[in-house]
Amino acid sequence: MSTITLIRHGQANSTAKDEASYDRLSDLGHSQARWLGAHLRETGAHHTRLFTGTLRRHIETADGMATGLTPTRDPRLNELEYFTLGQLLNDQHGIPFPTEQPEFINHLPAVFQHWKDGKLEGAPETYAAFQSRIRDALTEIASGSGPALVVTSGGLIAHVIAQQMELSVAATARTAIAIFHTSLHQFHPIGGHLSPVLFNATPHLDTPERGLSKTNI
């Protein structure tokens, strides 16, 4: 098995109300991606493979990092459709989509729990199918040769961690909320399993002049 480093995409369009309008990096998101790429080059980080989802924000982040690696695009690495699920939660259960950042703390676990329990009729995919596709994708990447970078999304990263650590839905939601844009999350093979050895690292943003550039919304 090979070491995998998951990377959340750069900051996207935080004023979006749907999946399509969210799926592009902000100016800060492009900067975050460039800074991360520069950090990886300056520290001599060794990776032989690069994977991304097929969403625009994944591709823009990977391109901005300029790793020199040819990316493999895999739709199994795409994010869950949070805006779509949130709209279903509102329409079917009267729980409105958040308008202020603190409201996401309660909204995200509600979305995850209703989705897991099969209470969101018309969801783009079932909770079980989402779990299966991300598990299959990570297993295939881990079986390849050489350390891999994987540019994806925060919700997916949180669920990968949850699978490895057997977290509850509530703990998974808290993990997802905490994940910073362009943060690093590393999994190392230990005893035949992928074990998390790094969570939410942002060395490229941990400088005084970039103190306001660390975002999770």
Q: What is the CATH number of the domain that holds 126?
A: 3.40.50.1240
Give the C-alpha separation, 102 to 202, whole Å. 22
Q: Specify if 197 maps to a domain.
A: yes
Q: Specify if 210 maps to a domain.
A: no
Give the C-alpha separation, 179 to 158, whole Å. 8
User: With contact defined as beta carbons under 8 Å apart, do 202 and 33 qualify?
Assistant: no
pLDDT on residue 15? 78
Q: Specify if 41 maps to a domain.
A: yes
Tokens of 39: 């950090």
How many domains in the chain? 1
User: With contact defined as beta carbons under 8 Å apart, do 149 and 67 qualify?
Assistant: yes
Domain that holds residue 162: 4-205
Tokens of 159: 């669920």
pLDDT on residue 192? 85
106: left (phi over 0), alpha (psi -120 to 50) or beta: alpha
Tokens of 46: 């060794």
Q: Specify if 153 maps to a domain.
A: yes
**In angstroms, how far is CA 161 from the centroid of its own chain?**
11
Q: Specify if 213 maps to a domain.
A: no
Please report, in tens digits, the pLDDT of each residue of the chain (217 residues total): 899 999 999 999 877 788 998 999 999 999 999 999 999 999 999 999 999 999 999 999 999 999 999 999 999 999 999 999 999 999 999 999 998 888 889 999 999 999 999 999 999 999 999 999 999 999 999 999 999 999 999 999 999 999 999 999 999 999 999 999 999 999 999 988 899 999 999 999 999 999 899 999 8
Give the C-alpha separation, 72 to 49, whole Å. 8
Q: Specify if 135 maps to a domain.
A: yes
Q: Specify if 212 maps to a domain.
A: no
Q: Specify if 159 maps to a domain.
A: yes
The three-state secondary structure class of 4 is strand
User: With contact defined as beta carbons under 8 Å apart, do 33 and 64 qualify?
Assistant: yes
* pTM score: 0.95
